[in-house]
Amino acid sequence: MNEQFYNVSANPHVRDKATTHSIMLDVIVALAPAALFGWWNFGVSAIINTVLCIATCVIAEYAWQHFMHKPITINDLSAALTGLLLAMNLPAGVPFWMPILGGVFAIIVVKQVFGGLGQNFMNPALGARCFLLISFAGIMTDFSVKGIGTTFDATTGATPLAVIKAGGTVDLKAMFFGTIPGTIGETSAVLLLIGGIYLIAKRIISWKIPVCYLATLSIFVLLFGGHGFDMTYLAQHLCGGGLMLGAFFMATDYVTSPITPRGQIVFGILLGIFTGIFRIFGGSAEGVSYAIIFCNLLVPLIERFTTPAAFGKGGKDK
């Protein structure tokens, strides 16, 4: 008699071939077009600062884990991705010591002190950017570039969002394609959008957070922006600043965003509201970084109210 045996084991029973290394590699691939464009757009200084960010993050993680006698995890590419994201959030013309300081802060203070990958309460790259922005506001908001390779008039450091907030006008086409002042990786909305679609198509991220984020901000801008239902004004907000970079690559960080489907929707809506408040009513023209970090702090509360009840425990009969 033929007998069929089944393997019975403890949960979880859902298996996936994805690893931390493969996920981080996919995000790096998705970021690559915007990063390469930033190098071409801003020149040699952008390349050097990107390399410094990545190298510092990898070395800092290795050094911490080595001296703390922890397993070395730099091969999972999470530190390299943190360095790339930090570089994308820096102006190309910052002095070369700033990427090093920011990389050490991101890895040691925001990530490793709290237990390493999976334990940090905010996105390390954004935490480092806000630290640098608070500490060196003048340098971090100077978007003028002195060097070869720039594709726009670099005599002014004002970003398009700052121009819009002051009542001026900007070239929407330049904002969409990215030939404008800004940080290394935030200027090209179209390349960041392509990268985000790539991540959604590969199911690395869910569509819920970025779509709810962008939709909520759009409604907020139309209602409270002071320009009525001006679609050009709305498009400038969507293409300007770090919105596309934040929506697809920062807000969707696995560790610092909700894991529940309803929680992701709530998270995206809150991001849109806070970004709108900071941009329209705040003193700065930007607001994406602070909105994401603030909402990172709300994730435990969001998950508390959006986690579904276990079957048969506190749930409805039907």
Please state, in angstroms and rounded to a whole number, the distance separating the CA atoms of residues 191 and 210: 15
Q: Give CA separation, 286 vs 21, 159, 297, 317, in Å.
A: 32, 9, 20, 47
Q: In three state form, how does the secondary structure of the chain look?
A: CCCCCCCCCCCCCCCCCCCHHHHHHHHHHHHHHHHHHHHHHHCHHHHHHHHHHHHHHHHHHHHHHHHCCCCCCHHHCHHHHHHHHHHHCCECCCCCHHHHHHHHHHHHHHHHCCCCCCCCCCCHHHHHHHHHHHHCHHHHCCCCCCCCCCCCCCCCCCCHHHHHHCCCCCCHHHHHHCCCCCECCCCCHHHHHHHHHHHHHCCCCCCHHHHHHHHHHHHHHHHHCCCCCCHHHHHHHHHCCCHHHHHHHHCCCCCCCCCCHHHHHHHHHHHHHHHHHHHHHCCCCCCHHHHHHHHHHHHHHHHHHHCCCCCCCCCCCC
Which CATH number does 20-306 carry?
Answer: 1.10.3430
CA 224 to chain CA centroid, nearest Å: 25
Question: Which tokens is 53 given?
Answer: 């960010």
CA 201 to chain CA centroid, nearest Å: 18
pLDDT of residue 20: 87
Can you list the residues of the chain whose pLDDT is less than 70?
1-16, 145-158, 310-318
Please state, in angstroms and rounded to a whole number, the distance separating the CA atoms of residues 249 and 246: 5
pTM of this structure:
0.87
Q: Give CA separation, 46 vs 145, 183, 189, 222, in Å.
A: 9, 9, 18, 35
CA 49 to chain CA centroid, nearest Å: 18
Please state, in angstroms and rounded to a whole number, the distance separating the CA atoms of residues 119 and 247: 21
**Cβ atoms of residues 180 and 145 within 8 Å:** no
pLDDT of residue 5: 55
Dihedral angle sign, alpha carbons of residues 195, 231, 176, 266? negative
**Cβ atoms of residues 114 and 120 within 8 Å:** yes
314: left (phi over 0), alpha (psi -120 to 50) or beta: left
Please state, in angstroms and rounded to a whole number, the distance separating the CA atoms of residues 87 and 89: 5
Please state, in angstroms and rounded to a whole number, the distance separating the CA atoms of residues 42 and 182: 9
Q: In three state form, how does the secondary structure of 103-166 look?
A: HHHHHHHHHHCCCCCCCCCCCHHHHHHHHHHHHCHHHHCCCCCCCCCCCCCCCCCCCHHHHHHC
